[in-house]
Amino acid sequence: YQQRRRVAAFGALGASSGISFACGPIVCGYLLDHVGWRIAFASLGLLALLILLCSVIIPASENKRAAIAFDTPGFLLGTLGLFLTIFGILRIPVWGLVMPFDPAVSVLGLSPAPFVILCGLMVLMMMLRWERHFEATTGHALLPAVFLKTRLVRHGLYLTGWIFFAYSSAIFTVVSFAQIVKSVSAMETGLLILPFAICLAACSLGLPLFIQQRNPRRQCQMGLTAGIAGALVAAAALHVTGFTPVLMASGLCLIGAGMGTIAANAPILVTTGAGNRHAEQSGGVQAASRDIGQALGMALISTVMLTVLTFLMKYQVQHDPAMGLAARQAIGHLTFIPWTSDRTFHQLIQTQNLAPGDLSGLLQHYQQSRMLSARYGLLAMAIVTSLLLIRLRHLPKSS
């Protein structure tokens, strides 16, 4: 596709993500609530098999090119580097960012996560050096130099990563809070994020269809601003025992609208900057950007929530004159405070043989700290989005 048809096609791809975000949680939530995990996952397997069978109807590419040698070393280095990097990022909430949550799982007294990430980045640097050599020798590469040297492509990849960064960070925070604090069912969780999915699909598909003169800079700025506003509104909706439904729905709608707006623009920026020769090859790079963005979102929010919860809980208990010495010592000796339900936390502290008054006070402090940690998680998403908004001020006004 070219020009407006290409824009509409990418908008439709973004809308399909919105539809999957809407249908997946509701359908799978219903299955989880009524028939259990096995049937739900078996249904996903059958769906994947159906898609595989339907792939035979996909037409072959009209662009006939001479066969080229497969870059096996580049493929292996890229796969290993991405695996180590993403795996290390995802293990930060489990292992810790610098200091280990579990002293038994450590490297030189530190968390293994940064070492795994560093190894992954070193492998990726080796892959980039190999790609430059391979492209100079053969004229093609898995990661052409244009993807890294062209500002427009880099901006498009940043925005592509942000889409799934916003999804993983915002939805993870909201869903975790709703299910743990308010004990909503899986299907109710799907209905909770339905406004988010609808706004995502509407903006992703609607903007290319109804706006004739595209202004990528303005649209991306509006999308990121909507994401920031949505995170702040969703944070304001949280309270100790649950959330305000209207405020939460409004915040999720803004986040979905922001993601949809970016989804309608980011792929166009990548393919336009890459040029016709490399546009077809950009899909894999965009997929890697999405995976990294999603991993960063999960790692950032999980780390922020656990760190803030642990710090606030210890601070409040130590500075509460009503707390007994045994309660202060019990909380102070914990390496980190788990982000869990009231019932599980109550069972955890019951093993410390504390006075009934201390148990009640600790639970109140825990509820307050847990709510604030979720707010700080959404605030972290807003801050990262603000930094990206500043970084992308040089986007073109037309493409």
3-state secondary structure of 239: strand
Choose among 58, 25, 33: nearest CA to 192.
25
Give the tens place of pLDDT for each residue, 55-110: 888 776 666 555 667 788 888 998 898 889 888 877 877 787 787 877 778 888 88
16 pLDDT higher than 90: no
Residues near 356 by Cβ (< 8 Å), separated by ≥ 6? none
Type and span of the H or E element at 243? strand 242-243
- HSE on the CB side for 377, CA within 13 Å? 36
- According to the CATH classification, is domain 1-45+154-399 in 1.20.1250.20? yes
Give the tens place of pLDDT for each residue, 203-236: 887 777 777 667 788 888 999 999 999 999 999 9
User: CA 269, 271, 277, 278 torsion: positive or negative?
Assistant: positive
Residues near 167 by Cβ (< 8 Å), separated by ≥ 6? 21, 259, 294, 297
Mean pLDDT of the chain, nearest integer: 82
Q: What is the predicted pLDDT for the residue at 3?
A: 55
**Ranked by mean pLDDT, which of 14-28, 125-139, 201-215, 379-393 comes out on top?**
379-393
Q: Residues of 186-212 as b/e, b for ≥16 C-beta within 10 angstroms?
A: bbbbbebbbbbbbbbbbbbbbbbeeee
Choose among 206, 217, 197: nearest CA to 268.
217
238 pLDDT higher than 90: yes
Q: What is the predicted pLDDT for the residue at 11?
A: 64
Rounded CA gap, 235 and 75, in Å? 41
